[in-house]
């Protein structure tokens, strides 16, 4: 079994992961939706759908539109709320031997801190991924993620509220993502993950209306991979904390590109909608790559780009 192969092990924020393949927030539900399709025990980690203090209904439909080599979404962070997650989903999810990261979303710095403090009390949650990069909500989210100053303030408060490993998810919509990454590192983040979606839109030429009720949405999928890769490379060169690469990953080869560019781990997003078993196929592909190249550990390729 590929999952028993120790060559894929990586360290992330003091946690030893079986492999560098995590599932990205919002594309893998609360994990349990994929139980029948994927061996959840084989994943490096699961990042669950963004959770807020209170349940949220999200934006009105239509909220998804297909685009060339990608998709636009404006879900607007619909979720069941942190308490329902802890009560109804986590007991079953934590039976798997796979770290669960909770992605958090809030409208104010105080709420981000409150969420972190609540999560801090729950042993079965391995870590927090703070989403300061959602482009599809009116308040909070990306407003914090595009400004280094604001991002730093969120992370400082969250850091004071929890001992858990803290990953901060960055926005490609920031004018200078490297400055945000540096500030977030200085404010106490244990890792950064990038990228979230890139703001885009689509038009229906017959109705002359936007294809999303929200007008704009977040672009994801293979279309954004080159942008994500470039940003991961830039950020990895600028910070000492680990970088988690996200954006358009469809195959083991894509994962390797991100790791060579400097990512210590990756998250698989939109690809889960195309092929729900893609994470398993990617893990198998990584094992094959190590074997074919006679490499002992995948860690040896991180940041080896010769540029």
Ligand X SMILES: Cc1cc2nc3c(=O)[nH]c(=O)nc-3n(C[C@H](O)[C@H](O)[C@H](O)COP(=O)(O)O)c2cc1C
Interface positions with ligand X (CB under 6 A)? 24-27, 49-50, 73, 75, 77, 103, 131, 134, 169, 196-197, 220-221, 224, 246-249, 269-271
From the centroid of its chain, how far is CA 124?
19
Active-site pick, 134, 198, 255, 271: 134
Q: Which is nearer to ligand X, 7 or 29 (CB)?
A: 29
Q: What minimum distance in Å lies between the beta carbon of 4 and ligand X? A: 27
Q: What minimum distance in Å lies between the beta carbon of 72 and ligand X? A: 9
Residue where the block lists tokens 């977030």 = 184
Omega of the bond leading into 298 within 30 degrees of 0 (cis): no
CA separation for the pair 48, 207 (Å, rounded): 36
Q: Which is nearer to ligand X, 1 or 282 (CB)?
A: 282
Q: Which is nearer to ligand X, 131 or 296 (CB)?
A: 131
From the centroid of its chain, how far is CA 165?
14
CB atoms within 10 A of CB 49: 22
CA separation for the pair 218, 246 (Å, rounded): 14
13 part of the active site: no
Q: What minimum distance in Å lies between the beta carbon of 159 and ligand X? A: 18
Q: Which is nearer to ligand X, 208 or 255 (CB)?
A: 255
Q: Tokens in use for 163? A: 């001992």
Q: Tokens in use for 155? A: 């992370």
CB atoms within 10 A of CB 104: 27
Q: Which residue is nearest to ligand X (CB)?
A: 26
Residue pair 270/246 in contact (Cβ under 8 Å)? The answer is no
Q: What minimum distance in Å lies between the beta carbon of 41 and ligand X? A: 22
Q: Which is nearer to ligand X, 154 or 271 (CB)?
A: 271
DSSP letters, 159-227, are HHH--S-EEEEPPTTSTTHHHHHHHHHHTT-SEEEE--PEEEE-EETTTTEESSTTSEEEEESGGGHHH
Q: Which is nearer to ligand X, 5 or 32 (CB)?
A: 32
Q: What minimum distance in Å lies between the beta carbon of 137 and ligand X? A: 10
Q: What minimum distance in Å lies between the beta carbon of 1 and ligand X? A: 26
Q: Which is nearer to ligand X, 54 or 297 (CB)?
A: 54
CB atoms within 10 A of CB 262: 22
Residue pair 43/289 in contact (Cβ under 8 Å)? The answer is no
Maximum C-alpha span of the chain: 57
Choose among 244, 245, 246: nearest CA to 221.
Answer: 246
Q: What minimum distance in Å lies between the beta carbon of 251 and ligand X? A: 12
Strand pairing class (45-51; 21-23)? parallel
Name the residues annotated as catalytic.
134
């Amino acid at each position: 079994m590929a999952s028993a192969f120790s060559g894929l092990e990586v360290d992330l924020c003091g946690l030893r992961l079986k492999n560098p393949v995590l599932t990205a927030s919002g594309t893998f539900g609360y994990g349990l939706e994929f139980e029948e399709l994927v061996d959840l025990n084989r994943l490096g980690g699961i990042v669950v759908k963004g959770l807020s203090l209170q349940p949220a209904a999200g934006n009105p439909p239509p909220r998804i539109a297909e685009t060339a080599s990608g998709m636009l979404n404006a879900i607007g962070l619909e979720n069941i709320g942190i308490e329902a997650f802890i009560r109804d989903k986590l007991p079953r999810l934590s039976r798997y031997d796979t770290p669960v990261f909770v992605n958090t979303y809030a409208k104010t710095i105080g709420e981000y801190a409150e969420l972190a403090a609540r999560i801090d009390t729950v042993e079965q949650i391995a870590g927090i991924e703070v989403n300061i990069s959602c482009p599809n909500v009116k308040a909070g989210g990306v407003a914090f993620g595009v400004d280094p100053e604001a991002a730093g303030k969120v992370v400082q408060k969250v850091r004071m509220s929890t001992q858990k490993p803290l990953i901060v998810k960055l926005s490609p919509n920031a004018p200078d993502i490297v400055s945000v990454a540096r500030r977030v590192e200085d404010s106490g983040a244990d890792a950064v993950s990038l990228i979230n979606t890139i703001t885009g839109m689509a038009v229906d030429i017959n109705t002359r209306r936007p294809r999303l009720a929200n007008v704009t949405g977040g672009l994801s999928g293979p279309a954004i991979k080159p942008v994500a890769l470039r940003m991961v490379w830039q950020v990895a060169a600028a910070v000492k904390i680990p970088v988690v690469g996200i954006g358009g990953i469809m195959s083991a080869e894509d994962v390797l590109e991100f790791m060579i560019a400097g990512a210590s781990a990756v998250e698989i997003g939109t690809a889960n909608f195309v092929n729900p078993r893609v994470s398993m196929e990617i893990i198998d592909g990584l094992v094959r790559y190590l074997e074919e190249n006679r490499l002992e550990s995948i860690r040896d390729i991180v940041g080896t780009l010769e540029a």
